[in-house]
């Protein structure tokens, strides 16, 4: 039977801002096991609300006790999955993502976001979260339903890349900020190291496609993931699916190239799952594939295509 594991949200089990194959694992699991984590919001003490009493002890301990690397995000120390080898695929079934903090923050930050030159009156707000009702209330009175997901989900980068910032999503996944990667979704990640070295973090309460101002509703999440080694698959980029849709993912500094990558990956997947030719798969993408901008603020921009499985 699969075993369930939990990684505590203590400073010794967290990494701040850096993704590297050399980071010692938090634990070792078997393929098919379930891992639960407690994610801290991205940011630092400057993101704390004015009322210090609102800051959870765990979040304060992370900010004060974990050395910060080049990125903004807290992630768990990696999970080593037995049997995973370079060239395999790690299947990540996202089982849960639930807020545990009663507030989050949204910021306009210097020289960041989709319109950095136009928005120079920097500001941070702290919407309150109603955990029972699953909503957040903005300072101007508007209430929004929560739709929580982890902004960062990935495996360790290739060892030859050295230490990478958590800010930029790449072939290993990472800070994809894709609101479709929520409970009920399966994410497939190419493996670049023995054990895959899975990590997650960057809790989001709600976010629109684009994440245009640089942040979602940054907050703490508790979540669980089933990690399964797939030796029957081969991928160069992350790919995902839900019960109803395939989801290809493109990541590139150039939005056009990210879109091309998302289309190319969807054509490849359609051909792998059907007897359609590449031309036919390309035409099907044009007819029923929905190309969406994932985010435009993380260095490598994101585009994903959603295609309903019922038409395969």
pLDDT tens for each residue of 155-214: 999 999 999 999 999 999 999 999 999 999 999 999 999 999 999 999 999 999 999 999
CA distance 277 to 271: 6
Listed residue (187, 14, 15) closest to 97, CA to CA = 187
Q: Cβ atoms within 10 A of the Cβ of 35, count?
A: 24
Q: Note the pLDDT of residue 2.
A: 85
Decide if 215 contacts 119 (C-beta within 8 A): no
Do the Cβ atoms of 281 and 149 come closer than 8 Å?
A: no
Pair of tokens at residue 71? 């990125």
pTM of whole model > 0.75?
yes
pLDDT tens per residue across span 274-287: 999 999 999 999 99
Q: Report the 10 Å Cβ neighbour count for 311.
A: 12
Instruction: Give the list of residues 6+ apart from residue 306 with CB closer than 8 angstroms, or none.
Output: 180, 245, 246, 247, 289, 290, 292
Give the pLDDT score at 247.
Answer: 98
- Cα–Cα dist 175/104, whole Å: 18
pLDDT of residue 219: 98
Cα–Cα distance for residue pair 251/255, rounded to 1 Å: 8
| Model pLDDT for residues 98-139, shown as the tens digit of each residue | 999 999 999 999 999 999 999 999 999 999 999 999 999 999
């Amino acid at each position: 039977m699969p075993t369930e594991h939990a990684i505590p949200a203590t400073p010794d089990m967290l990494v701040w801002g850096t993704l590297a194959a050399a980071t010692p694992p938090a634990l070792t699991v078997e393929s098919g096991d379930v891992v639960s984590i407690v994610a801290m919001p991205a940011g630092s003490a400057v993101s704390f609300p004015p009322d210090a009493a609102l800051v959870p002890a765990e979040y304060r301990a992370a900010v004060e006790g974990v050395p910060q690397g080049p990125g903004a995000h807290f992630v768990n120390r990696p999970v080593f999955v037995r049997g995973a080898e370079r060239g395999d695929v790690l299947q990540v079934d996202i089982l849960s993502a639930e807020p545990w903090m009663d507030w989050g923050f949204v910021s306009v930050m210097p020289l960041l976001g989709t319109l950095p030159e136009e928005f120079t009156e920097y500001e941070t707000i702290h919407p309150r979260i109603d955990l029972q009702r699953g909503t957040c209330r903005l300072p101007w009175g508007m209430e929004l339903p929560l739709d929580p997901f982890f902004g960062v989900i990935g495996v360790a980068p290739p060892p030859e890349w050295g230490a990478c910032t958590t800010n930029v999503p790449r072939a290993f996944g990472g800070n994809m900020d894709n609101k479709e990667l929520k409970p009920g979704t399966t994410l497939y990640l190419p493996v670049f190291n023995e054990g895959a070295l899975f990590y997650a973090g960057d809790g989001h309460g709600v976010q629109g496609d684009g994440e245009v101002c640089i942040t979602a509703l940054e907050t703490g999440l508790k979540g669980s993931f089933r990690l399964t080694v797939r030796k029957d698959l081969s991928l160069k980029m992350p790919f995902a699916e839900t019960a109803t849709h395939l989801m290809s993912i493109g990541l590139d500094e150039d939005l056009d190239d990210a879109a091309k990558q998302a289309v190319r990956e969807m054509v490849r997947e359609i051909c792998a799952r059907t007897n359609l030719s590449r031309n036919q798969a390309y035409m099907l993408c044009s007819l029923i594939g929905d190309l969406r901008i994932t985010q435009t603020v993380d260095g490598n921009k994101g585009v994903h295509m959603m295609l309903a499985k019922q038409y395969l």
